[in-house]
Structure 1
């Protein structure tokens, strides 16, 4: 009831914002009241203040030359509790990891947090708008870093958000990578530059590397490949020595097969004891044939 009253009181201020500001505040309210309300039961974030912090980071800034530390205030203010053992990091598997985490109901990628949810769109600054924020998002360069656009606004945001998110990771973390990519990641990826260096003992106690293989072709990278060995070494240097790796563990395999049941490995599901069902079917058929032959021999 109190939050409804606060929301109603904020509406006049929301309508006074630019369209981008209105969308931001609306997403902020939706996240806290509907998408992931549990962390905000006793301590709700002021969405108008968060918008001011976010806007100040990008207002009147060159779209291609933004200091990533400008987002430090917003990333700090928008952080919230994420349960231990629920942190997921990824590279090249955005669609798969978003279905895997189920918007925080199963686990949390950075995009499932309030910080990432609010920043998961196109944005940049402008010298021609009244609030310094570009209203025509098609004019924003995106997040790709190029020689002519070394630090676009979105790249600056995601670099800082990734750093803050990884520094808050606790317990066993999951790292999901695309087994059809070769290599699994590059040295320029956000994960390698801004997340992996912060996955350290004692906050992080273990790491599970999940290689998502959503193809009928053989994986291009495996758990014994160079990329995974590189990860093991880096994590070990950080004090995280309990590192496991698996291609399509059951939790991920069931998801992939429900989406694309014609994949070859979907017919090789195992029973709770770990034996392939096809093996049990073959044994049953052989036993049935032996029994039939034996009965026929006795009768005739």
Structure 2
């Protein structure tokens, strides 16, 4: 029986790794290129932005869309590009209108199924890997809009009908508050939150030296305030920790407690847990040799189903809308 359990565990990890690998091949991530194949880097508008945008638009609809994250009707990618470009060109690159992308968002809405929306803050790689392993969980970057511009950069040049080729200004709270990219991600983050229904997951980083939840994050500014208590039945807060730690933030303490209080104040039910088993299983794909990823055995060599990590997780799980 123990041998069967070990074989089943190995099979599960193999399937998980296969799913993750397939999904990551579709994600727009930073890639280390060899010196023989250099990639031009720029702080300005991404070169060939129109071709990339239209190409991803076509690719998403042809290859990557599913019943979970495709728009309700087929999108004309040339029309989408014009709405995207006309939203900001010619404007002050630090003073883009909050509603600049409304026509594009009307053309390509985000419409996920119940229990599907995953928000993340400080957990980019883990959240997207976790979503990759579950066909019924999706991040903003898995939506059509997010997919088309993920990893790209663009900015306007005042008085010009083209994007700027100069370095794009960084968004600053005092001097440059509304950049082309900043307004875009704020708009789609708001849309993502408004459409969420059923169980909404938010994954934050409990091992970072920085607060897991802070007022300047996209989740705090645009997503949490726009979750609809009439549509969202539960906010599942996951405080993820690195395999091996450290554990700097936990449920009911520090900035996570603040997030719980703000969630409850909006009339939203929630649960909070630290590194649940489904998340840890994904982490163990890349850390298979770590002690926390090994089957635990008792004195007779039998596998212990409830190990040390699982016990720690259960003590951090809280009932809905409870503040400790």
Q: Is TM more than 0.5 here?
A: yes
Total equivalences in the alignment: 253
Cα distance in 1 between the residues matched to 2:173 and 2:95: 11
Equivalent position of 2:227 in the other structure: 199
Q: Does 1:28 align with 2:53?
A: no
Counterparts of 1:34-183 in structure 2, within 5 Å, are: 34-38=63-67, 40=70, 43-102=73-132, 105-120=135-150, 121-126=152-157, 131-134=161-164, 136=165, 139-141=167-169, 144-181=171-208, 182-183=210-211
Equivalent position of 2:288 in the other structure: 261
Q: CA deviation at 1:232?
A: 2.1
DSSP-derived class of the 2:234 partner: strand
Q: CA deviation at 1:217?
A: 3.2
Greater fraction helix:
1
Counterparts of 1:179-258 in structure 2, within 5 Å, are: 179-181=206-208, 182-241=210-269, 243-258=270-285
**Greater shift in the superposed pair: 175-184 or 73-82:** 73-82
Cα distance in 2 between the residues matched to 1:83 and 1:70: 27
1:131-156 deviation digits (Å, cap 9, x = unpaired): 4223x4x72235x4353322221111
Distance 1:103 1:255, change over 3 A: closer
1:36-92 deviation digits (Å, cap 9, x = unpaired): 143559721111111111111121222222122111221232114211100001101
Structure 1 runs (4+) deviating above 4 angstroms are: 39-42
Equivalent position of 1:295 in the other structure: none
Cα distance in 2 between the residues matched to 1:192 and 1:92: 12
DSSP-derived class of the 1:244 partner: strand
Q: CA deviation at 1:225?
A: 1.1
Cα distance in 2 between the residues matched to 1:167 and 1:246: 24
Q: CA deviation at 1:264?
A: 4.2
Larger Rg: 1
Q: Which runs of 5+ in 1 are unaligned?
A: 1-17, 270-276, 286-300
1:241-266 deviation digits (Å, cap 9, x = unpaired): 2x111111111101111112244422
Cα distance in 2 between the residues matched to 1:132 and 1:156: 18
Cα distance in 2 between the residues matched to 1:73 and 1:80: 13
How much is the aligned-residue C-alpha RMSD, in angstroms?
2.4
User: TM-score normalized by structure 1?
Assistant: 0.77
User: TM-score normalized by structure 2?
Assistant: 0.71
CA contact (8 A) 1:31 1:37 kept: no
CA contact (8 A) 1:104 1:112 kept: no
